[in-house]
Amino acid sequence: MTTAPIHGSAGAADARLVVLVSGSGSNLQALLDACADPAYGARVVAVGADRNGTFGAERAAKAGVPAFVHRVKDYPTRDAWDEALTRTVASYAPDLIVSAGFLKLCGPRFLGAFPGRYINTHNSLLPAFPGMNGPGEALAAGVKLAGATLFICDSGVDTGPIVAQCAVPVEDDDTVETLTERIKEAERAQLVTAVGRMVRDGWKVEDRRVRLG
Ligand code: GRF
């Protein structure tokens, strides 16, 4: 799969980001802060959530960004939820969609509508420790390096082509909380850098390999 480069600089319109969240939204905040610099080349045009009352939605309101909620339980089927989410996200004409702590797997309609343009940040060094408890599983496995992975979503759980990875040390006295926080700090910086490069320079996906620029 090859994705045409997106140009968001030198007079062209900023790239349009839709960010999906389920919780605190610190990764969303990092993107909102980065987008305040016109040289970054992107702006967050909408924030979506799968539940009411997320701190991410509050962050969106504070930044003057529209927010929407689609809860799976409000739809008769998972497919109907997927369809509604796809329609709403598409209405914002996004160049890139960022899952930043969004605790739902999107379905075939969503993935088909935004091929190669839906990315997720995960708090482990994939392919190790996919799923909901990356830092806890890293600690339990006794690894000495943990980290975060930004990848292009496919239909699997944390299986898509990798855009960027960063590592942090696991300290002897780490708890799940301290390791999670260390990972999150590195993860936010990575997300901002990689999304900036994607929107300014474009990206290509060939087989499993993602090339920026
Ligand atoms: C991130 O560490 C992400 O990898 C994980 O959930 C966290 C979301 O954090 N899936 P936040 O909501 O952006 O603060």
Q: What is the pLDDT of residues 75-129, one digit of tens each?
A: 999 999 999 999 999 999 999 999 999 999 999 999 999 999 999 999 999 999 9
Which residues, listed in sequence order, are joined to residue 42 by a DSSP beta bridge?
A: 15
Exposed / middle / buried, residue 48 (Cβ in 10 Å: 0-12, 13-18, 19+): buried
pLDDT tens per residue across span 1-31: 545 444 333 335 899 999 999 999 999 999 9
181 is written with which tokens? 């926080």
Q: Which homologous superfamily is 123-149+163-213 in?
A: Formyl transferase, N-terminal domain (3.40.50.170)
For the Cβ of 43 lying below 6 angstroms from any atom of ligand 1, the answer is: no
> What whole-number distance in Å separates Cα of residue 47 and Cα of residue 55?
11
Residue nearest atom 5 in ligand 1 by C-alpha distance: 101
pLDDT band at residue 166 under the 50/70/90 scheme: very high
Q: Are 166 and 189 in contact (CB under 8 A)?
A: yes
Confidence (pLDDT) at 9: 35
Distances from the Cα of 207 to the Cα of 1, 77, 116, 162, 211, angstroms: 7, 32, 12, 11, 11
Give the residue range(s) of CATH 3.40.50.170 domains in the chain: 11-114, 123-149+163-213
On whether the pTM is more than 0.75, the answer is: yes
* CA nearest ligand 1 atom 12, residue: 25
CATH 1.10.4000.10 at 11-114, yes or no: no
Decide whether any atom of ligand 1 lies within 6 Å of the 23 Cβ: yes
- The number of residues making up the chain comes to 213
Closest ligand 1 atom, residue 30 Cα = 13
Decide whether any atom of ligand 1 lies within 6 Å of the 121 Cβ: yes
User: Considering 70, 104, 122, 184, which one is annotated as catalytic?
Assistant: 122
> Sorting pLDDT into bands at 50, 70 and 90, what band is 149?
very high
What is the C-alpha separation between 103 and 56, in angstroms, rounded?
Answer: 13
Can you tell me the distance from the alpha carbon of 40 to that of 77, in angstroms, rounded to the nearest whole number? 39
Nearest alpha-carbon partner for 19 in 37, 33, 4, 3: 33
Q: Which SS3 state, helix, strand or coil, does residue 196 take?
A: helix
Number of Cα atoms under 13 Å in the Cβ half of residue 189: 9
Is 70 a catalytic site residue?
no
CA of 150 to the centre of ligand 1 (A): 11
Task: Collapse the DSSP code of 87 into the 3-class scheme (helix H, G, I; strand E, B; otherwise coil) and give the result.
Answer: helix
- Ligand 1 atom nearest 121 alpha carbon: 4
